[in-house]
Structure 1
Amino acid sequence: MAMKGTLRGLGVLWLVVSGSAFATESKCAGNRVERGGSTQYTVRSSGETISIVRMGDTQGRAVKQAQGHAIEVGGDTVATLQDGHIYRGETRWASVNEAQRVYDCPEPIAATLWVLERTGR
C-alpha cells in the first residue's frame, strides 16, 4: 500500500512540476502582446489584415486569404496558416496549438508571432 501511495504522490508532483513547463511565455491583452507584464508588441487590424508592431515598425502581418492566412515578414510571404497548421511552402512547419502554447493569443496572431520568432525577428 505504501508503494502505491508513493507512486501516486510522485505522479501528482510530476504534474505540478511539469505543468509550469507548458505555461505560455506571452499572452494577448487587448491590442498588446505581453511577456512578464511588459508590452512586447502591439496588434493592429485593418480590414482583413492583422499587423504585429514593435516600437512603431511592422514586424509581420497575417493577411486573410480565401482559405486561411498568408503570414508576411518584411513584405514577403514566408508561411501560410491553414486548417490549424503553419506551413512553410508545402511543408507543415508547426501546429497552431504549438504556437498558442508559447503565445496565448488568437490563431493568426499566435501563428504570426511564432513565425517571427523562428525567422529571427
Structure 2
Amino acid sequence: MKKMSMLLAVFTLVPAPALAADYKCQGNRVEKGGSTQYTVRTSGSDIVIEKGGSTRGKAVKRGDDYAVEVGGSTQATIENGRIYKGGSTWSSVGEAQRVYDCPDIVAATLWVLQQRGQL
C-alpha cells in the first residue's frame, strides 16, 4: 500500500502537458500541420491577414489600441490584452493565442476573423 501511495504522489506532481495551438506563426506565415494557411503582411503598424492573395481582414492601429476590420467595417477592438465586441468583452488575447501561436495582435486578429466566419 505504501508503494501505491508513493506512486500516486509521483503522478500528481507530474504536470499535465500543455495544449498545443492548432496554428503557428512562422515568419509571415500562419501554418497548420506544417502547411501555410494564411499570410501576415504589415504596413507600418497595421496588420493584414491574407489567404491566396486575398485580404481576409486587418488590424488597424488607432491610438494605443487596434480595430479589427473586414471590408472597412470594424468587427472588434483589441485593448489591454482583451478583445471587445460592441464595447463588451468578447475574449482575451491569451485565449486567442491558445488557438494561434502567434504574436498577440496577429493571434487576436485571426481569432476575431475566425469568429466572424472570415477565414
TM-score where L is the length of structure 2: 0.89
Match runs of 1:38-53 below 5 Å? 38-53=35-50
5+ long unaligned stretches in structure 1: none
Paired AA for residue 8 in structure 1: A
User: How many positions carry a matched residue from both structures?
Assistant: 117
- Measured after TM superposition, the shift of residue 11 of structure 1 is 2.8
Distance 1:5 1:68 in 2: 51
Q: Which is helix-richer, 1 or 2?
A: 1
Distance 1:74 1:32 in 2: 22
Give the SS at the match of 2:63.
coil
Q: In structure 1, which of residues 71, 74, 96 is the aligned counterpart of residue 71 of structure 2? A: 74
5+ long unaligned stretches in structure 2: none
The residue that corresponds to 1:4 in the other structure is 5
1:5-45: CA deviation from partner (whole Å, max 9, x where unpaired): 24335436771xxx25x211111100000000000000001
1:25-83: CA deviation from partner (whole Å, max 9, x where unpaired): 11110000000000000000112210000011100100111121001123210100000
Please say if 1:103 is aligned against 2:100. Answer: yes
Aligned alpha-carbon RMSD (Å): 1.6
TM-score where L is the length of structure 1: 0.88
The residue that corresponds to 2:90 in the other structure is 93
